[in-house]
Amino acid sequence: MGRKKKETIELRYYDIPQKEYVMALLGEEWIRDYGSGVTHLHFHNMMEIGYCRDGRGTVTLDEDTLAYEPETLCVIPKNYPHTTDSEDGRKSYWEYLYFDPETILRNMYPDNELYQNKLLRLINRKAHGLRARDYPQLVTIVLTIMEEMRGKREFYTDTVNALTTALLLEIARLNCDKPEELFEARRPGVSQIKNALDYISTGYKESIRIEMLAEKCNMSETHFRRLFVEYMHMTPVDYINMIRVQMACELMKKTNDSMDEIAMKVGFATTSTFNRNFKRIVGTTPYQWKKNPENYESKLLSFHISAEKGW
């Protein structure tokens, strides 16, 4: 029996103009009959922020569909399948912002990769369709960025950069299950073990000795272990396994590799060790996690993807 034909999904990619942090699609050009002639979902290589100024219809966010009206705000991570359909062929007026959260966070926190990654995971956790009246601070930031991009007055690029950073923090806050998630990785003393963290971030695929990590931080193994637990609230071995599990999640979202292959690629000696650590850290098995509807990027593997620049 032949392989089932993949459903089509479209990649619409954007390039941010040089020396800018955000691409804005603004003005009357974006008054249109959304969804006309479109039969499939699409996704972007950037985060999308959409604000409805007029019109009604539906927005599909992966498998969820919500009704939109004026003053609806959509927050959509990159690689998240979605589409917009105007009501009964009537025109709607949307305006959009596109940007790369990773670039902005890297510029904002150049010496704290751990915090960058923590924020990025929160920001990309889910998509949202929101009513402006329920999230006034978030909407105010979005509308201010749009007006800065529309007017392009002096210093607008720096202003937009600062506002977009604030926007990302608001999105991370929106996706937090508990307040301490935002701050658990942002501790000043962590610089003492930064060399070890940097090594783990790239060397997790290999066998890692704690003695070697201590040497990279110019301290005894005993002192290193004590500081590591003090700053990270977990042992070095637990942290290494957590990074490996995170990398495994990325592979499961973006490849069709078997669990045996994934376990090997992220540094686990055996699949059983991988499964045991995954369940201990995540709370479910790798197979169950991969099927979770929140893991939207893995669903892209089930589609035939076509690429088109912009709209």
Convert the pLDDT of each residue in 33-66 to its tens digit.
Answer: 999 878 788 888 899 999 999 999 999 998 889 9
Is there a single domain that holds both residue 28 and residue 175? yes
- Tell me: pLDDT of 183 over 80: no
Kindly report the pTM of this predicted structure. 0.67
Is there a single domain that holds both residue 160 and residue 17? yes
Is there a single domain that holds both residue 14 and residue 149? yes
| pLDDT interval class at 250 (50, 70, 90) | confident
Is there a single domain that holds both residue 164 and residue 192? no
Is there a single domain that holds both residue 257 and residue 144? no
Is there a single domain that holds both residue 41 and residue 152? yes
Question: b or e along 63-75 (b: 16 or more beta carbons within 10 Å of the residue's beta carbon)?
Answer: eeeeebeeebbbb
Q: Does residue 300 form part of some domain? A: no
Is there a single domain that holds both residue 153 and residue 242? no
DSSP 147: H
> Which residues form the domain of 214?
188-292
Q: Does residue 234 form part of some domain? A: yes
Q: What's the confidence (pLDDT) of residue 293? A: 53
Q: Does residue 304 form part of some domain? A: no
- Tell me: pLDDT of 186 over 50: no
Q: Does residue 306 form part of some domain? A: no
- Which residues make Cβ contacts (< 8 Å) with residue 152, sequence separation at least 6? none
Pick the residue with more confidence: 125 or 268?
Answer: 268
User: How many domains, the chain?
Assistant: 2
Q: Does residue 207 form part of some domain? A: yes
- Tell me: pLDDT of 139 over 70: yes
Is there a single domain that holds both residue 33 and residue 157? yes
Q: What is the mean pLDDT of residues 139-158?
A: 96
